Structure 1
């Protein structure tokens, strides 16, 4: 329940006491009652207007309006206080009409109120609207001014010294009333229509008092006289209080445009017609009929015009309703165009527009950070679990990102599994901390369709000033993100200029790699795969080497990722496959020991997805004469997890080509893969071989792999064997085949041929 306003309680108490004193006292007591009560009302008006001006919901222009009203109220209060002092000194009924000092203060205050209302910003108007406003003002003020002049100029009514003050007060009252009406009907009023009603009533009472004084019909010290004298001040005290209550209930309590403005000039016309009829000296019946006819025709025309106006208002209201609906739909469409329907985040277009606004409108002393987030191996999840599962995962990741960042940070899904975050007003170190926190949050298992899934992501961070521009920040963050992927995924990198240089270097290296494919710069080395029991070479793995004419040897760890990123892995892989099969066929023809030699060729996932890859393999085998059983295609678990390559792998097996699962045990795969993928060989990753003789966990993994291979009738090959102890231990576990530096490093063609010669010589 709202507590009563203490100011209004005090004012009510003063009013009650004044009314009681007025009713019980004599004429002298009545004279002493009026002005103190007006002073109390003036003070209440000042305090309440200041309270409204201090409300936080108001704009600067509206605040200035209410502060100006408060200043005008002070002038009213000073004038009324002066009059109260004069009444106490020499009580007289003539003092009820005021003195020149009081009139000067009141006129000054009224002028300030009028200027405040006229200076308040109004909605932009066209030339036609300004013309209509000017005509309304001229008609209303001319009619009202004519009324004041006609009354003030009656012979013997006012002294010459009073004519100016009375005429000025009347003119100001008319201007104030007109300004108030136009202001509250304009749609940009600093005062609500309801709050303006007491003010208009106060102006009406004041004008009535002025007219009665001119006509020498003032009620004097009667109850009506007190009401006319004190009423305007009491009503004005309610104006700010009503406005305050409306603002507390609804912060947007302002007037809307109102089409009743058309009545303003009609009011002026009616006033002039009435004055004209009253001015006729001793009118005859004919004169009265003419006047009444003019009035009747005017009333009919005005009524007809008002009906037309109301019809137009109905049309305009319907148009307004339609426009509001269209604007609402436009907003919905704009929001749909700027939002990603799956996650509810900004999409690429919406993010770009919102980011430009943030960077342009706000000053960020500590800079801004743009983060690009790419989910690692998301395509694998999408392919193995299905698109609905992938969509649910993306929605969960989006929610996790939204909860991790600050409320003002922008989060977007740019497409696929790539997200972006724009965080402003933070240092580079704070940006790093935010990126680290994002990675930590993503490592917490996500519950997706009843499954707990750990997500890893690569994050690129670009930190700079808003002046750098959105395009530059996206480019830098993109470079940093790929640097994070090169580091090993599941991490973040912040952009620095050297990364740009590295990107240029990689692009240059990619261009040179494209030229090198098919030339003598690219050659193959072959690492033997041996029988751990007999030591006989049963196969070789073809390994690519690049000898640059200027740089010298380029590491595969450097150029293979570039080949995969640029797509050059497809022509490079095509050349490797053809060359390895040709060389294996040549050894097969030259050496009896190579009759059953199997050549292993690494194939990237990108190659498997190339249309016609199986036909390409079949064509190479046909041209080289190598039997399909002597070719084994090595693929990684990540490549096999792509759902669309399963059919390709099965068709390769149907050709008779072997399939080896390389680096087995290192990817986040399911054991069910061994049941769905038609592999024939498992290659135990070197990371499990390294400590197989010293670490129980690595030994356990090696044991589990050989047992699975035996159960599924797959051949197992241990990679990275470097010591006799490792070879012996793996042989005891059941491994029959292995490769590593213990047996041979990757060898050129002539050294492999030498191996065969030595073997045949021993035999």
Structure 2
């Protein structure tokens, strides 16, 4: 592995040029040996010089590599083993050369010290090869590779035994024990090296370099093949065949010096099958020629090889089966993920469209579009984790409500849908869904409201029109209030489209300044004195005239434009109230009560907007009374923090429409209210108590309970929606001191309110 430290150009040149010099030297020495063998100048002992001379070239090539390159520990260890092995091997053959000159002209047998050193050198080099890591990733891969390498070892060994070692051992003139041992070691190490390097996928040691080192042992094959050729064959082996070893070594060092460390392509896949073919070739040779005990070795090896291949094939079949099962499971998982929602496990939009399109081709098809009301508020107030848990619970409740009557899916966000089975009544399923949603859901025990649109498409009709009709019906259900369902009918698009158009015009109207603030007085019932006002927004449309709030407030809520609209009402009413205080004195305006929506309370800038409006207009903090509904207050910790900050600023809070919610009484214990406003539904018909109807008695009881509760808690009370004097009198008799309604005063523009206040001041002055 190349060092990451920078090197100058001369160093790089040394890295690449120096090893190649020794490759040239090793080739030159081998060519000189070939030239000597052809011309035969001098004694035959000269043939023994070329092997140790080539060893010097190989050793110098390795030393040059190790000096010129910064090698990682694994690579350095490998080349140290090769260097040690080649050094000991060269010393052994140097001893043989000295002996050869001492016995010339007779060719010597290799002496025992030389044979021992040569054997140790080969073992050391091959041990370095064996220690190179294979790069396996798991025990299964290692087991398979071990069997493959054993197959290759046995198969190729059988071939070399048949055509190499066996003829050499059984030759009539035979080789010495030392020579036979060296060639045998060379055979074994060559086989081991081949099967080792065939399964190295790459790494710090260059793969080509390892192959060349392993190939050096195969020179023993050439020597063995020359064993029956007499003295000339021995001289050929010593002068040409064996010096080729050092060409391999020098070239391997050169390959390592230019290695980039890039992974190489694995090429050992077919080696076991080639080994099997080699064993078959050996067996055929024996059948053809017929031999003695050496044939038994081949037969045993072939049987062993066949068994190993069978085991390997069984492992391969088992592995292929496992991979096939894993692939099928992966395909099933991918198909499921492609057609199902990852959070809830329900089908997704793609599956829904496919199933609905298929159903429409065969029959009339009914779908339900289910949209959660105010789900964004849950995310904003309680966090997205709670929102996700709620969606999972909603999916479970939807599946339970639908049961076997349809396919529930999640389309996106908080939008769900149901494809009904043939013959299932859509209204019945819609009621079951709403009943299921009425129960507290998720571990946080949250109540969920939903709007459901129902639409039916005829057989052969298009998919998109059916879904569009369901969407229109769902929006119509939203306009009717929370927790409703609506079935689509022809012509339903018009009011929904008009509602959408109003939403589109709101932004333009805000920018164009088309909104006005009207003021409805808050009156003292005993004296008729005005003590405050409730600001109410009106839209002065350039074409339609004055648009009532009921037509554009829901659109503003749905589009989120209620936040900038509420900010405008707050600032304008604070400015106007401050102007009235400056003109008519501090007693003319004790309460300014603008309404605050749920979305405003979730706006992170709302408290800053209130603070800025009071600071810019100079209105005293205690004159501002923010009116909130119970549904807005019951919205989690974020809303509670906002209300607490407002209360600490000195701004007063009023609980509007009191008595209509499920938690009105318990809410007063945690909500910092200073005023409660009795809802209009408890004022309507309150003057009819003398008729003794159950409805009148219930209204009387609620109104009396509210005033008593407010008195016990030290809260002011305001009765809303007073339509006649009889209602005002009845409320006064129950203890109510403040009222609001058309009988007392209608909402009016700021100019009319200014005239009314001026008239009251003049009357007071005259009195």
Q: TM-score range by the shorter chain?
A: 0.5 to 0.7
Gapped regions of structure 1 (runs ≥ 5): 1-285, 291-296
Quote the residue 1:515 is aligned against. Answer: 508
Q: Identify the residue that residue 62 of structure 1 maps to in structure 2.
A: none
Corresponding residue for residue 680 of structure 2: 686
The TM-score with structure 1 as length reference comes to 0.55
Task: Rate the CA distance shift 1:572–1:442 in 2: closer, same or farther, 3 A.
Answer: closer
- Checking the alignment, whether the CA contact within 8 Å between 1:383 and 1:642 is kept in structure 2 is no
Q: Which residue of 2 aligns with 1:526?
A: 519
Q: 1:660 aligns with which of 628, 638, 654?
A: 654
> Distance between the aligned counterparts of 1:507 and 1:361, measured in 2?
31
1:648 alignment counterpart: 642
> What is residue 353 of structure 1 aligned with on the other side?
350
Q: Is the 8 A contact 2:352 2:409 kept in 1?
A: no
Aligned-pair CA distance for 1:498: 3.3
User: Aligned residue for 2:740?
Assistant: 739
In the other structure, the counterpart of 1:412 is 409
The 3 A distance-change label for structure 1 pair 630 and 368 is same
- Shift of residue 657 of structure 1? 1.5
Quote the offset at 1:705 in angstroms: 1.7
Which shows bigger deviation, 673-682 or 378-387?
Answer: 378-387
Q: Structure 2 matches for 1:258-273, cutoff 5 A?
A: none
Q: Deviations over 1:615-666 (max 9, x none)?
A: 2212111221211111111111111112212111122222222211111222
Deviations 1:569-589, CA, capped at 9 Å, x for gaps: 122111111111111111112
The equivalent position to 1:561 in structure 2, one of 545, 554, 576, is 554
| TM-score of the superposed pair, with normalisation by structure 2 | 0.55
Structure 2 gap segments, 5+ residues each: 1-286, 292-297, 689-695
Aligned twin of 1:546: 539
Deviations 1:118-168 (A, max 9, x none): xxxxxxxxxxxxxxxxxxxxxxxxxxxxxxxxxxxxxxxxxxxxxxxxxxx
For residues 447 and 562 of structure 1, what CA distance do their matches in structure 2 show?
Answer: 28
- Quote how far apart the aligned CAs of 1:332 are: 4.5
- Give the alignment partner of residue 605 of structure 1, picking from 598, 601, 610: 598
Write the distance in 1 (CA, Å) between the matches of 2:362 and 2:502: 39
Contact 2:372 2:448 in 1 (8 A): yes
Q: Secondary structure at the match of 1:498?
A: coil
Deviation at 1:378, TM superposition (A): 5.9
Would you say 1:575 and 2:581 are equivalent positions? no
Q: Distance in 2 between matches of 1:680 and 1:415?
A: 42
> For residues 516 and 341 of structure 1, do their structure 2 counterparts lie closer, same or farther at Cα, with a shift above 3 Å needed?
closer
Q: CA deviation at 1:476?
A: 3.7
| Aligned counterpart, 2:730 | 729
SS in 1 for 2:404: coil
2:429 to 431, 434, 444: 434
- Is the CA contact 1:584–1:597 (under 8 Å) kept in the aligned structure 2? no
Residue pair 2:450, 2:482 contacting (<8 A) in 1 also:
yes
In structure 2, the residue matched to 1:401 is: 398
Q: Is 1:715 the equivalent of 2:710? A: no
Distance 1:419 1:359, change over 3 A: closer
By how many angstroms is 1:530 displaced? 0.5
Q: Secondary structure at the match of 1:425?
A: coil
- Which one has a bigger Cα radius of gyration? 2
In structure 2, relative to structure 1, the CA distance for the partners of 1:596 and 1:655 (3 Å cut) is same
**Aligned pair partner of 1:631 in 624, 628, 633:** 624
Q: 1:414 to 1:671 in 2, by over 3 A?
A: farther
Residue 483 of structure 1: which of 476, 482, 490 is its match? Answer: 476
- Cα 1:515–1:392 change in 2 (3 A) is closer
Distance verdict in 2 for CA 1:683–1:416, change over 3 Å? farther
- 1:51 aligned residue: none
RMSD across aligned positions (CA): 4.1
Question: Is the CA contact (8 Å cut-off) linking 2:533 and 2:591 kept in structure 1?
Answer: yes
- For 1:540 and 1:401, the matched residues in 2 are separated by 46
Give the Cα–Cα distance (whole angstroms) in 1 for the partners of residues 563 and 360 of structure 2. 48
- Counterparts in 2 of 1:1-20, with a 5 A limit? none
C-alpha distance 475-563 of structure 1, shift in aligned 2 (>3 A): same
Pick closer, same or farther for the CA change 1:516–1:375 going to 2, 3 Å: closer
Deviations 1:474-494 (A, max 9, x none): 444333222101112222112
Q: How far apart in 1 are the matches of 2:580 and 2:511?
A: 21
Q: State the distance in 1 between where 2:355 and 2:611 align.
A: 57
Q: After the TM superposition, which residues 135-146 of structure 1 pair with which residues of structure 2 at under 5 Å, given as runs?
A: none
Contact 1:366 1:426 in 2 (8 A): no
Equivalent residue, structure 1, for 2:668: 674
- Give 2:18's aligned residue: none
Q: Verify the 8 A CA contact 1:379 1:642 in the aligned structure 2.
A: no
In structure 1, C-alpha distance between the alignment counterparts of 2:454 and 2:299, rounded to whole Å: 77
Mapped contact 1:380–1:638 kept (Cα < 8 A): no
Question: What is the number of equivalent residue pairs in this alignment?
Answer: 472
Structure 1 residue matching 2:654: 3-state secondary structure:
strand
Label 1:393 to 1:518 Cα distance change in 2 as closer, same or farther (>3 A): closer
Write the deviation string for residues 20-59 of structure 1: whole angstroms up to 9, x where unpaired: xxxxxxxxxxxxxxxxxxxxxxxxxxxxxxxxxxxxxxxx
Higher relative contact order (CA 8 A, sep 6+): 2
How many Å apart are 1:456 and its aligned residue? Answer: 4.2
Structure 1 388/298 Cα, relative in aligned 2: closer, same or farther at 3 Å? closer
Equivalent of residue 420 in structure 2, options 423, 430, 441: 423
Equivalent residue, structure 2, for 1:168? none
In 2, Cα distance between equivalents of 1:645 and 1:608: 6
Q: 1:632–1:660: 8 Å Cα contact kept in structure 2?
A: yes
Task: Give the structure 2 partner of residue 160 of structure 1.
Answer: none
Structure 2 contact 722–743 (Cα < 8 Å) conserved: yes
Return closer, same or farther for 1:353/1:437 CA change in 2, 3 Å cut-off: same
Q: Among 363, 368, 371, which residue is 1:366 paired with?
A: 363
Query: Contact between 1:531 and 1:738, CA under 8 Å: does it hold in 2?
Result: yes
Structure 1 residues 683 and 583: CA distance shift in structure 2, 3 A:
same
CA deviation profile, 1:498-550 (whole Å, cap 9, x unmatched)? 34343433333223222222645321111110011221000011111112121
What does 1:17-166 correspond to in 2, within 5 Å?
none
